[in-house]
Amino acid sequence: MPICQNCHKQWSWKQTVKKMFTLDTGMICPHCGKKQLLTTQSKKRAGLLNFLTPLAMLFGVLFNFSVITIFMLIIASGITVIAAYPFLVELTEEEEPLW
C-alpha cells in the first residue's frame, strides 16, 4: 500500500482504489491533503499491469474461445488489475521523469 511522503501514513486499499479512478496525475493524500505523485517505477509497473486485459482478449481470440469465455476473461483480468494496483503504488512528492 502507498505511504504518503509528507505525513508518512499508509493509505488503505479502498482509499487507493478511489484515487485510482481520477484523471489527475497526482493523488491527494486522504490524511494530510498534500498532492502525491506516482514514482517512475510505479508508473512502469502499472503500465505493465494494464496489458493484462488486452492480453486476455488476445488469448481468447487466438485459442478460439467462445464470446462468453472471452468476456469472462476480460472481467477477471479487470478485477485482477483493480485488486493488484494498490499494492504496486509508490508515491513521491516530486515529479519524476519516465525515463
pTM above 0.85, yes or no: no
Measured CA to CA, the distance from residue 52 to residue 59 in angstroms comes to: 10
Name the residue type at position 58. L
Exposure of 35 in the CB half-sphere (CA atoms within 13 A): 7
Quick: pLDDT tens for 27-55: 888 899 899 988 888 888 888 888 888 88
Residue 7: which pLDDT band, with cuts at 50, 70 and 90? very high
* Domain range annotation of the chain: 13-92
